[in-house]
Structures are given as C-alpha cells and as structure tokens.
Amino acid sequence: MKVEVLGTGCAKCKRLAKNVEAAIKDLGIEAELVKVDDITEIMNRGVMLTPALAVDGELKVSGRVADVKEIKEILQG
C-alpha cells in the first residue's frame, strides 16, 4: 500500500503526515508513506487544496487534516 501526503510542508500538511504515521502504526500494517511537496506534481493530480491524502494513487481527502480515526477507516477500506 502506498500512502501519499500531498502538501507544500505547511503546519497542516505536517499534522496530516503525523496522523497518517499514527494510523499506520495503530493498524500494524505495511504501508509506504510518501510526502509529495512539489507543487507542480500536486497540481498535476488535480489537487487544488492542500493538504491532501492519496492511497494507491486514489485521492481520499483534500483541503483538510483528517484525524487518525478517519485515516484508519480509509486504510482499512
């Protein structure tokens, strides 16, 4: 599983990344966490509001910080 946090490194982006790390740890799953901070790459994916969360290339959250509970639900499918 590839989990991507898309954002330019702002406080909200960092908070989302920490929440994703916590969710992965809580679930005890194997997941690759990638931080995408290149604005061109973010825009090419159609993301207009950061932070954003994508799982296996599919955009799940955009423009807000998802909490750990919500991320765990997303990761569990």
Supply the pTM of this predicted model: 0.94
- What are the pLDDT digits (tens) for 22-59? 999 999 999 999 999 999 999 999 999 999 999 999 99
Q: Which of 45, 37, 30 is nearest to 16 (CA)?
A: 37
Residue 27's φ and ψ, nearest 5 degrees, are -80, -20
Domain extent, residue 50, equals 2-76
Number of structural domains the chain divides into: 1
Given strand 58-62, what is the order of strands in its sheet? 32-36, 2-6, 52-55, 58-62
- Residues with a known catalytic role: 10, 13
pLDDT > 90? residue 77: no
- What are the pLDDT digits (tens) for 8-20? 989 999 999 999 9
Query: What's the CATH number where 9 sits?
Result: 3.40.30.10
